[in-house]
Structures are given as C-alpha cells and as structure tokens.
A and B are shown apart, each in its own frame.
Chain A
Amino acid sequence: MATRVVTVDRNLRTGPMPIVRGMALTFKNMLATWFGGKASTVQFPEEKRKTSGRYRGVHILTQRMDGTPKCVACYMCATVCPAECIYIESGERPEKDIEKYPTRFEIDLLRCVYCGFCVDACPEEAIVMSRENDLVGTTRAELIIDRDRLMDRNKLIEHGPGYRPEEHDVRRPVRIAALERLRKEHGIVPGMPQRG
C-alpha cells in the first residue's frame, strides 16, 4: 500500500476564526446542558447508561435447576481465550449423563479483554455475559472471581444479561430438553445399563 503524505500547514495564518468556531461549539453544549437539559454525561453511580442486550460485561456461569453449574469443564473457553484468563479444575459428578463439572472456575478479570469468545466457544451455554461494567476492587485478588461469584444470579438480575448465544434467557432455569423428553416419553434414564 502506498503511503499518502499529508503536509500540515503549521503557520498560523488562518486567523482567529477556528478558535471562535471551536469555542462556539463548547458554549453551545454548555448552554444546552444548563438550560436545555441535554447533558452528554450521566451522574454515574446513581445513574447508569443504557447498554445493549449484547453488551459484553462481567461473565455469569449459568445453573441447572438444582443450582449446580451447567458447565461441564470441557475447557473450550480456556482454550479459546486470547487473554488466557480462565482457570478451570474439573471433578466428577455423580450423574452419569453429565459426568464432569468444574471444581474450580476462575476468571482473572484484570486480564480479561471481554471479547466474548468464551461465550461463543461454550457448547453448553454455560457461560454468558452480563451488562455489569462497573467492577471495582481494592486488591487484585478481589478481581479474580471464582465459581460461586460467577454463578451469582443477583448480579445478572441487577445489570441484565449481556452477550449470550442467540435468544437464550439466562434468568430461566435450564433444562436439557432431549433428556427430559427421553425420561418422560420413554421412561429411559440415560446412562443406566440396558440388560437383555
């Protein structure tokens, strides 16, 4: 690609007009804020900006109906994460159709770049994002959030769901539809031996 060279005229031969135009804009906004009620800023802690439903804020781990994490510790999010901020340790679940769950799931929010790749990679819709964006802490350790804090649904209700796969509503308990159907219609509990 050819580089385009732009010569900037630094001689102040343009007169005072640019300054006047700039200050006019400043005063226009000032007067609009004072008298017109059209502030471009918000009174932050009390008042919050509206963000879209696809906003990528602090992560939420979704839960099953019994309150356990939906995550099966497949490490897809940790694999895809460009900031390498997800740390997972996995353990054994008693349910044979689930088998695996995270005993530790930590996200280092100081390293996280909020790209949302973890949400895209998740095969279980177990990790979604909220619209929480005012995260503060007094130590670094506070901002490495663990599994139980990631599963805190109140945050989600407070800030609203952010980036998540399609129209999935993370506030609703999640069922595995296929397994439910199997159990209901055929009376089969997956994983049990079928002798015969």
Chain B
Amino acid sequence: MPKCTINGREIEVPAGTTVIQAALELGIHIPHFCWHPDLAVDGNCRMCLVEVEKAPKLQIACNTAVTDGMVVHTESEKAAQAHRTTLEFLLVNHPIDCPVCDQAGECYLQDQYMDHGLHESKVEPEEKVRKRKVVDLGPIMLDAERCVLCSRCIRFEREVTGTNSFEFVNRGDHTQIATFQDRPIEHNYAGNLADVCPVGALLSHDFRFKMRVWFLEETASVCPGCSTGCNVTIDHRDGEAHRLRPRRNVEVNKSWMCDVGRQEYREIGLDTRVTGARVRRGGHWEGTSLDDALDVVASWLRGQGAATAFVATPQGTNEDLFAFRTLADLVGGRLEFRVGDPQDKVRVREDNVLLRADRNPNTQGCLDQELGRTGVAALLADCAAGRVETLVLQGPELLRLPDAVEPLSRVAHIAVMATHEGPELDRAHLVLPAAVWAEVDGSFTNFQRRVQRIRRAFAAAGDAQPRWQMAARLVQRLGGSFPAVSAREAFALLAAAVPGYAGLSYGALGATGRALGAPGATEAASGASAGAR
C-alpha cells in the first residue's frame, strides 16, 4: 500500500487510489468540477491541479494515482494560482445570473470563487459568448451559458443509464452541451442530471423556482418508493418537504435515485392526509379524539382472541411492524401482511439501475419478522365465513383489494391506520391517523436485508401518530407492556426479540445502515456499473 504526504500529513491508501480520493480521506478538499466519486475520471476541468514534488508540472489530482513517497501540496502558491486562473477561465463566459439561478447556494462555481477565485473579471458581460438559455428538456431545464463543460452529464448518461442523450456540439468558445434536436430526457433517472451538474446548467424542472436552497433544512432518510431503499436527503422548510435528493451510499444506490422515488415527497403535504381519528356511528362518520378511538379499538379486541385478525403493512417501519406483532400476539389473533404478494417481487428489478417491482420499502422487514403466517386468501375466507369479528389493518391496502370487498363486509369491526384519505376508507368502521415516513423515526430493511434508518424531518399532520405508537398504546390498554417511548427504544425491543436483528441498535446502524446476513440477497445493489441497456 503506497504511502503519501498531502499538505504535510501522511496517509496510506490502497494502490490505485487517486490523489483527490486520498485527500478527501484526510478531509482535504481539492477544488474540482468534473470529478465525481461514482463516475469515470475524465480530467477535463483542470480545476484540481496540485503540486507534486519532483514532478515537472502541476498534476490533476483526480487522475494521478498515489505512489509511494509522493509529496503533494494542494494549497501551495503554485497550486493556488492554478486554481485561481483555471476558475477565471471557466468563468469567462459565465453569465453570472445567480439571482435567477436555482443552483445558487449549492453551486461549485460560487463556492470555489469564494474559496479560490475572488478575481476581478476581465470580460464585460456584453462581450461574453451568448449561448442557449431556458431549453426545456422535459424533467430538466438546460442553460448552456452556465455550463462549465465538465461532461458529468454525458458520463452519467453513458455509464449509469446507458442512454447517451447528451453530447457536446460546436467547437472552442462556442462548445455547448445539447441533446439531439432538443429531445427531452425520457428515462427514469433524469433528476440525477440536475444533481451531478456542478453548476446551474441542468436544473430540475420540478424544483424550478420553488425555493432557494439555503432556506432548506436537511434530514437524512431512506426513500420509501420501492424495496431498493435508496438513501435520500429530505430538504424541507417549515414542515413542508420541497424535494428529495439522493444521499451517497456505495452499497445501495451510489449517488443516484430514480424519478419515481423523487416524487415521493409530494404525498406528504397533500390535502388528503388523514389528520384525525374518526369512528362510524349509526352509518355515518363521527370525528373523535385519538384516545377515544384507541379505547374503541381496545374494546373491540378485548377478550376476542381468535376472532380477531391483524394485517400489517410493508409500508411501515420495522418498529411499526414489531409493535403491531406484539399487539397481535397479546390479543391472540392471526397476523398477516401479504397483500398483492409483495414478497414475490422484492428482488425483481423494474429497470437496470435501481427501481424494483415491489413498491414497498419494508417487505423484507415483514418477512424477517415472520408476519405472514397463513396468507391473505385464507384470512379472507375466514372473514367470508364470519369467523373474524374484529380486523385491525396497519395500512389500507387490503381495503383496496377488489376481491376483499365482499368478505370484509361480513366483518363486524374494521379499524384501519391510514395516512391518506381514499374511497376505500369507507369500508372501515374506524380510522386512525398515521404519520408518513418523513414524519417518523424508524428503520426499513431493504431487499438486500440492509437495515437503514429513516429520520423524522418535521411534525406529523394533525393528530397523526407513528403506527408503532398507536399499536403500543393499544397494547397498554389491553394490559400488556411495550416499554418504549421512542423509536430508538422500540428498535431495541425488536433487536432483542427478532433473531436476525440481535445486537443491532440505532447507533450500530449509523448513516448508511447495516447489512444482515443475507440469504439470497447477494445480488449487487446497484446495477449502475454493469447495467447499461
């Protein structure tokens, strides 16, 4: 393993590591535009020039492998001058329209100008080469004037999606990126183009002019869109989510996420959220407090034993599922979760990159906790035969099943925890308001059996509560015990009770989760490198 010295600090790295990576490990940030940790090295922006002793000229840190005894200076006068002049070149034709540019605040040009540039421009605004602005490419807006020609988008299209939409056109000063005849970007990973673009040349149409990024607060979480469990950051302000961004996790999603997942934030703030409990009395709905509603459910369950049934949801966190399982075991009813058979699709790919056919984030968690016992079909048969008196649903999926309408009409009491209103809720007799994923702490287990944390970004809508809390309160009302006041404690209870999760805690999960011994989950997480179309 070669050992090198960067800015006077020694580090030993595996052979083949580049200087920019070694520096990052030391916490030294070398300015760059075209280098991206999950894309091939291109070395075209020349921003990452560093001084290497005994080398005749400055070297680019992104494409220089560390060799033994190498001595690197990233902040020497020569390197600093190179950074300044390179940046000045990149800014020659930049329109400096930061006031109207959505990238402002997270722009490499802005950051690096403040860190390394601070030069006076030698070019008058009216002398700059004008290029195309506001070109609508479907989910992406192209502004060729702001582009620094780093080719990150071109490499993303080539290496990750294999679609090759972008190319450079024209020469010299007039070089710009474009798609053929301005065709829109049609694949499911367009949002990543806005993320990889270090400047404001490619911006998200969805986020366009919505919010200035410096107002946004970040919460690290996991996308609930499918069983892949891409790590994301929720950007939110004043209790409102404004966008989701991928968060790097080499084991799961690298730096990417799909556009289907990106849209998940829209669900959170909809007007159709269930914000209070309600119970059906004499044929019509009556609003009630959550406590009263839970009392009603407890009275339905008390002493019913085998005449009760519980259906968990793969949308719930592991904590939700465990509390629900505790409740079902305490009452002595049967417990199911397989609605629409998500377990058959949990590892099935929907495309070659990230998206999977099972659109539930936690089917694997349900399987790990052995929630599906006899199958939903058997349960519905029992309902039709009148053997089920009370049915508690952790999510409304079963109510949406066309085949279930008839059998469920024979059940005397149906209580459902729901996040959003829908016509299916009218088939229940009691509705409990459930918090959505962005409003709860918890964990999801993805298709690889990697347990990853989700974090509460903001308060739940109205009276809504995490599902595990409602289940825990029912357990207490029925004389059982669920000694947890936080999701962290609920997870500790889970870790003590569920075999595969022994020894896990929120501390052990860390920022990128922890993989469990994985039966049949050896498939690589991201087909990004292998899976071009």
Contact = CB atoms under 8 A, between A and B. Distances in A.
A92 B132 CA distance: 17
A117 interface: no
Interface string A158-193: 000000000000000000001101100000101111
Given A75-B212, A79-B214, A124 B132 contact: no
A125 to B, nearest CB: 12
A194 B99 contact: no
A30 interface: no
B126 interface: yes
Nearest to A194: B130
A31 interface: no
Nearest to B145: A191
A196 B126 CA distance: 20
A149 interface: no
Contacts of B134: 96, 99, 191
A98 B100 CA distance: 8
B130 A100 contact: no
B131 interface: yes
Interface of A: 72-76, 79, 90-92, 96-100, 123-124, 178-179, 181-182, 188, 190-194, 196
A179 B124 CA distance: 12
Among A79, A97, A99, A191, chain B packs the most CB atoms within 10 A around the CB of A99
B126 A100 contact: no
B130 A91 contact: no
Interface in B75-112: 97-100, 104
Contacts of B132: 191-193
B147 to A, nearest CB: 14
B212 A182 contact: no
B209 interface: yes
17 contacts: A74-B98, A75-B212, A90-B209, A91-B209, A92-B208, A96-B134, A97-B133, A99-B134, A100-B99, A100-B100, A124-B99, A178-B124, A178-B126, A190-B130, A190-B133, A191-B130, A196-B174
Contacts of B69: none
A179 B130 CA distance: 12
B125 interface: yes
A52 to B, nearest CB: 29
B99 A178 contact: no
A73 B126 contact: no
A191 B130 CA distance: 7
Given A97-B133, A178-B125, A182-B126, A76 B99 contact: yes
Interface of B: 97-100, 104, 124-126, 129-134, 174, 208-209, 212, 214-215
Contact of B99 (A123, A179, A188): A123
- Determine the main DSSP class of A at the interface with B: loop
A181 B126 contact: yes
Given A72-B99, A74-B104, 5 more contacts: A75-B212, A76-B99, A79-B212, A178-B125, A193-B132
A154 to B, nearest CB: 28
Given A79-B214, A194-B131, A100 B209 contact: yes
A75 B212 CA distance: 7
Nearest to B132: A193
Nearest to A189: B130
| Minimum-distance CB pairs A-B, first 8 | A74-B99, A100-B100, A90-B209, A75-B212, A193-B132, A191-B133, A99-B100, A96-B134
Contacts of B133: 96-97, 99, 190-191
A132 to B, nearest CB: 27
Name, among A72, A90, A188, A192, the residue most crowded by chain B CB atoms within 10 Å (CB to CB). A90
Contacts of B209: 73, 90-92, 100
A91 B208 CA distance: 9
A179 B209 CA distance: 23
A76 B215 CA distance: 11
Contacts of B130: 188, 190-192, 194
Nearest to A186: B126
A194 B174 contact: yes
Nearest to B125: A178
A82 B426 CA distance: 49
A105 to B, nearest CB: 13
Most buried by A among B98, B100, B104: B100
A192 B144 CA distance: 11
A74 B209 CA distance: 9
Contacts of B174: 194, 196
A72 B133 CA distance: 16
A91 B209 CA distance: 7
Nearest to B211: A75
A114 to B, nearest CB: 23
Contacts of A196: 174
Contacts of A191: 130, 132-134
A123 B132 CA distance: 23
B187 to A, nearest CB: 25
Contacts of A97: 133
Contacts of B215: 75, 79
Contacts of A74: 98-100, 104, 212
A118 to B, nearest CB: 14
A167 to B, nearest CB: 22
Contacts of B104: 74
A123 to B, nearest CB: 5
Contacts of A181: 126
Contact of A72 (B100, B125, B126): B100
